[in-house]
Structure 1
Amino acid sequence: MKKLRWPQWIAAFIFVSMGISLVFTIFEIFTAPVRQPVKGPKVTLQGDYIFLLVEIILGIVILALPSILARRFKFQIPGLVYILFVIFLYGAIYLGTIQKFYAIVPYWDKILHTFSGAMLGAGGFSFVSILNADENVVMKMKPGFIAVFSFCFAVTLGAFWEVYEYTFDGLLGLNMQRFMTSSGTPLVGRAALADTMGDIIVDIVGALAIAIIGYFALKKGRPWMKQFEFKRHNWKK
């Protein structure tokens, strides 16, 4: 029997946590009310649990995606990179959405956006390291270009996330972009933009920090953090 390494144990724990949440969410879908009661406190509706179910399923799929892509395109994902990835998903989906950390922990959303900006920036450096290590690639990219690429890579994906939030806020009547108060009162002017712009700003801060650190590491002749480097790998059939 193949022994699991510690990154795989952590991933397995997160898979189990989200699997259990999946079962409970399905149960809540059949028991939650469709509309808010006329009297009494605000309750979680069936539509909210359906959206939560979709997020959990997507989270489980995304959690398995790196391994699928690594095998498909024949590269090896460093354990540290994968751990950072699954920790982010755990914080965003399980803790943030299921355990409602977004509502009860101050600035939880901003912490995750800063972390994701840095993580995606490191991912940009890592992907370029594959090309620079490829003997078939004639041109080697300079540290300045790699730093700019990693920064743009991270900020672009952060912008796509804001498009996702905007789209589903419109389609499902959600409030992921915090354009209205918890009581449902729409915000006006700059107040309505504060959450979205704050997310983009901290994405930029995280990505910029990694771009600067990576640039100076490469400029001084040191390889970009070996534990973050993706490598070509010949998978055994």
Structure 2
Amino acid sequence: MTGEASSVTVPWQRILREAVLLAMPFQVVFIVLTLALDAAHVPHVKPALALLLVPALWVPGAIGLLVRFPMPRMLQLHYFVFMSIGPYAGSALAVYGLIPGWDKVVHFDSGIMLAWLALWTLRESELRGGAVLRRWMSLVFVQLVAMSFAAAWEICEFIADHTIGTHAQLNNADTMGDIIGGTLGGLVSLLVVWWFRRPRSLLPPSLLKPAQR
């Protein structure tokens, strides 16, 4: 064990308050910016989609209430940034169509975020369960989480395209590029963990010991 204290169970009121304070600035921006762009008749803006994304910013808080301890702030903020550059800016504000390659940036960032989520899950499991995994098992788990979610997202896009007529997938190269982007994001996270031991607030005991270089 490393001496790092595990997250403790905290009152739900505190979890809710912290979640609200973190999410509120992003929610305000989503609402105000969307209404301003719509009032200015900016083309391709989707106000309904943008406003539907506002409650999606409650996801970290909901997870915290479910497990009775909050997500680390770094992970929550990364989720808000991902929602801002991806579903909000990319889809609701049509940035995907305006900036070539924006989609790949979002998928790369999703791999980093999902790797962080996997690290936090491992951390809480190891600290609360009292069993520390072998280092290679932790690294493989984190990478597989990033890859699995990247593939699952593309499966959902494929189903949507063929059932409700969306056009999320352009071709095989686009689909594979998205999966590779998410995979590389997870890999970059692992390299940072391996070399710098950061971010420490998310690292499980199995990955906190300095690596042999």
> Which residue in 1 is equivalent to 2:172?
193
Question: Per-residue deviation at 1:86?
Answer: 0.3
**Backbone CA RMSD of aligned residues:** 3.1
CA contact (8 A) 1:117 1:203 kept: yes
Residues 47-88 of structure 1, C-alpha deviation per residue, up to 9 Å, x if partnerless?
x96xx735752x333310110110121122111111110010
Which residue in 1 is equivalent to 2:137?
145
Deviation at 1:17, TM superposition (A): 3.3
Cα shift at 1:227:
3.2
Cα distance in structure 1, aligned partners of 2:141 and 2:88: 31
Aligned-pair identity in percent equals: 22
- Provide the C-alpha distance between the structure 2 equivalents of 1:25 and 1:159, rounded to a whole number of angstroms: 33
The residue type equivalent to 2:151 in the other structure is A
For residue 26 of structure 1, report the CA deviation from its aligned partner: 10
Larger radius of gyration: 1
**TM (normalized to structure 2)?**
0.74
Corresponding residue for residue 53 of structure 1: 48
Q: Which whole-Å CA distance do the structure 1 matches of 2:75 and 2:138 have between them?
A: 18
Task: Give the AA of the match of 2:24.
Answer: A
Q: Does 1:108 align with 2:102?
A: yes
**1:12: which partner in 2?**
24
Superposition deviation, residue 111 in structure 1:
0.3
- Of the three residues 182, 198, 202, the one matched with 1:203 is 182
Task: Select the residue among 165, 168, 173 that pairs with 2:165.
Answer: 173
For the structure 1 residues 14 and 22, does the alpha-carbon distance in structure 2 shift closer, same or farther, using more than 3 Å as the test? same
* 3-state SS of paired residue (2:109): helix
Q: How does 1:1-237 map to 2 (within 5 A)?
A: 11-20=23-32, 53=48, 56-57=51-52, 59-134=53-128, 137-178=129-170, 192-216=171-195, 225-228=199-202
- How many Å separate the matches in 1 of 2:143 and 2:192? 11
1:157 offset after TM fit, Å? 1.1
Could you list the per-position Cα deviations for residues 98-151 of structure 1 after superposition, in whole angstroms to 9, with x for gaps in the alignment?
2211011120000010111011112111110001111xx243112211111011
Tell me what 2:210 maps to: none
- Distance of 2:181 and 2:110 partners within structure 1: 9
Asked whether the equivalents of residues 50 and 88 of structure 2 are also in contact (C-alpha less than 8 Å), the reply is: no
Q: Which protein is richer in helix relative to its size?
A: 2
What is the alpha-carbon distance in structure 1 between the residues aligned to residue 157 and residue 51 of structure 2? Answer: 16
The runs of 5 or more residues in structure 1 that have no matched partner are: 28-42, 179-191, 231-237
SS at match of 2:168: coil
Deviations 1:13-37 (A, max 9, x none): 321233357779999xxxxxxxxxx
Secondary structure of 2:54's counterpart equals helix
TM-score (norm 1): 0.67
* Cα displacement (A) at 1:172: 2.5
Whole-Å Cα distance in 2 between the matches of residues 171 and 24 of structure 1? 33
How far 1:215 moved relative to its partner? 4.0
Deviation at 1:10, TM superposition (A): 5.8
Distance 1:173 1:66 in 2: 30
